[in-house]
Chain A
Amino acid sequence: MEWETVIGLEVHVQLATKTKIFSGASTAYGAAPNTQACAIDLAMPGTLPVANEAAFRYAVMFGLAVHAEIGKRSVFERKNYFYPDLPKGYQTTQLAEPIVGPGYVDLELSEGRTKRVRIHHAHLEEDAGKSLHEDYHGMSGIDLNRAGTPLIEVVTEPDMRSAEEAVAFAKKLHNIATSLEICDGDMSQGSMRFDVNISVRPKGQETLGTRTETKNLNSFRFMEEAIALEVERQIDVLEDGGKIVQETRLYNGETKVARSMRTKEDSDDYRYFPCPDLLPVILDDQYINEVRQQMPELPEARRERFVADYGLTEYDATQLTAERAVADYFEATVKACGEAKLAANWIMADLSAYLNKEELSITQSKVTPIQLAGLITRLTDGTLSSKIAKQVFEAMTLGEGDADTIIEARGLKQVSDTGALEKLVDEVIANNTKQVDNYRSADEAKRPKMLGFFVGQIMKASKGQANPQAVNDILKKKLEG
């Protein structure tokens, strides 16, 4: 039987505010445990929450970016459950009246395909603290620095049909949030976490199959792996005549194994009710328009600008704006060397191959935009041949410094000096008399191909440092002259 995969996502996006959503405690990452957990975050008796305007501003920006209706009236509710990293005994969140209503995101997929994924809604809520299960004399240690950090939880419709689409959505959301500067996007520190709802159904069937939820995936790769694994598991169960149990699953990216978590509460068990400590938040059109005016450039606008201002192709512009940090890197490189097309090529080819190989993100690149620009400048001014430029680039990835330092230290300057080149050409002609005779007696049409042999010999003799254009000119003159 042919099966169809159906995927919906819930994404927790940690907002890059300076302070918590309901208190004036700092949200800076990496502080000593509990030094950023104030009386409100600790749920001390008698404290009252006061909502952070920036959290609303960021949520509104996100809503506008995904073409959503903004909840001009939004209401906080209490989601009740007991866990030690949640000192209040409830999470303050939104349910019936969220800040962001239905919207959508358009994806660019492989082979030029596009896809629209609908957003069901996005709501504001607070993050919990962290439990450290290391054994403290049979007890758990709790760090509440993260408690109260603002999040938006983005909930999609079940519109995705493959791991490719789900990952493309996740990357697009990451790109939007980082471009808006509402989230630092550092997934290794949990700034963006994905819960994936997966079900399968026979192709052509209308009703959805029973779904499972794989929680807390914090990398695009883990997400892709977890989806593939879960789809395969569900199909196996169904083809063996079994039934899918609705459950929460955890995927371990290290061991590549997923397991079922004992089902926690049903949604009824959370006993949601409107939070009596917080009044409804009302945002008017003027506020929303002001936020719209302040919004940083979104990826799609940036892509269009790259085509218009830098003369890039649609394809190149799409590639370069798929990730905020890459687009920034590109613009910094172009600013320093003025060569947009070359910068685009180097970033998409050599730089990206190097980053993939070393498993680095572009912000961790040993080669800075200024260094890449320096290399490109030495390429366009004829100091380097493109072959030697690749060697210089490799040296840069090893931290050997900027292009000029490497060229100097390794003696890689391209030889364009006519006298030196003529000497090389003469030597090669003298050593290959047979090929020279063949060339001279060959058809005009065949000659360019035959010329390649001599160019190759000369490049080899010069250890790649001869300027190929100059070699060509001198060769032709000598062979035909």
Chain B
Amino acid sequence: MATVEPSDIAKLAQLARIAVSEQQSGEVASRITEVLNLVDQLQAADTRDVEPMAHPLDAVQRLRADQVTEQNRREAFQAIAPAVEDGLYLVPRVIEE
């Protein structure tokens, strides 16, 4: 039986860049525990001879020729960006630690 602690929630929230308040984390933890319990039930199924299915299609990837087909559309893309300067997209500052 999987149990998710509020401390796990804090880490998951950080990885997913989602704000989960301390008040919420108890409830989120119990909900995720429920989901994991469901997964535990699924785990009980014998899948030894079953190949994992990543795609519902029985098809293979088509490959493209190595030719430039995309033109510069920076102006159009940057018109809808929240902040740009010198051709760069501006984002909240990331400091590498």
| Chain A residues engaging chain B, CB cutoff 8 angstroms | 17-19, 23-26, 32-40, 42, 44, 50-56, 75, 81-84, 131-133, 135-144, 261-262, 265, 269, 273-276, 278-282
Chain B, 22-67, CB within 8 A of any chain A CB: 52, 54-55, 57, 59-67
Q: How far is the CB of A85 from chain B (nearest CB, A)?
A: 9
Given A82-B15, A280-B61; 7 other pairs, CB 8 A cutoff? A17-B66, A24-B67, A39-B70, A56-B63, A136-B90, A137-B90, A140-B91
Name the interface residues of B59-81: CB closer than 8 Å to any CB of A: 59-70, 72-74, 77-78
Say whether B70 contacts A25, CB under 8 Å: yes
The 6 A-B residue pairs with the shortest CB-CB distance in the complex, in nearest-first order: A24-B69, A141-B88, A274-B54, A54-B66, A38-B70, A33-B87
Q: Are A37 and B74 in contact (CB under 8 A)?
A: yes
- State how many angstroms separate the Cβ of A333 from the closest Cβ of chain B: 33
Which chain B residue shows the least CB distance to A89?
Answer: B17
Q: Which residues of A contact B77 (CB under 8 A)?
A: 34, 37, 39, 42, 44
Q: With CB as the reference atom, state the residue of chain A lying closest to B87.
A: A33
| Contact partner, B93, options A23, A54, A55, A133, Cβ 8 Å | A133
Q: Judging by beta carbons under 8 Å apart, are A34 and B74 in contact?
A: yes
> Would you call A141 and B66 a contact (CB within 8 A)?
no
Binding site for A on B (CB under 8 A): 15, 17, 52, 54-55, 57, 59-70, 72-74, 77-78, 83, 85-97
Complex: A274 Cα to B52 Cα, angstroms:
10
CB pair B70–A142 under 8 Å, yes or no, is: no
B85 in complex: contacting residue of A56, A141, A265, CB < 8 Å:
A141
Q: A42 — nearest CB in chain B belongs to which residue?
A: B77
What chain A residues lie within 8 Å of B15 (beta carbons)? 81-82, 265, 269
**B92-A24 in contact (CB<8A):** no
Contact A19 B93 (CB under 8 A): no
**A366, B93: Cα distance in complex, Å:** 44
| Most chain B CB within a 10 A radius of its CB, from A40, A42, A55, A141 | A141
Is there an interface contact between A142 and B61, defined as CB atoms closer than 8 Å?
no
User: Would you call B86 and A131 a contact (CB within 8 A)?
Assistant: no
Q: Is the beta-carbon distance between A34 and B87 smaller than 8 angstroms?
A: yes
- A96 — nearest CB in chain B belongs to which residue? B52
Contact residues in B for A32 (Cβ distance below 8 Å): 87
Q: Please, which residue of chain A has its CB at the minimum distance from the CB of B83?
A: A139
The residue on A at minimum CB distance from B72 is: A35
The reply to whether B90 and A140 contact each other, CB–CB distance below 8 Å, is yes
- CA–CA, A137 to B91, complex, Å? 10
Give the complex CA separation of A279 and B63 in angstroms.
Answer: 10
C-alpha spacing A75/B53, complex, angstroms: 12
User: Given the known A-B contacts A50-B64, A279-B61, are A142 and B93 also in contact in the complex, defined by CB atoms under 8 Å?
Assistant: no
> With A and B bound together, what is the CA distance between A275 and B61 in angstroms?
12
CB neighbours (8 Å) of A84 from chain B are: 89, 91, 94
- Given known contacts A56-B63, A138-B93, A33 and B68 CB-to-CB distance under 8 angstroms: no
Contacts of A56 in B (CB 8 A): 63
> A23–B67 Cα gap in the complex (Å)?
10
CB distance from B17 to the nearest CB of A (A): 5
- Complex: chain A residue closest to B59, CB-CB: A279
Assess the A36–B90 pair: CB atoms within 8 A. no
Give the chain A neighbours of B17 by CB distance below 8 A: 82
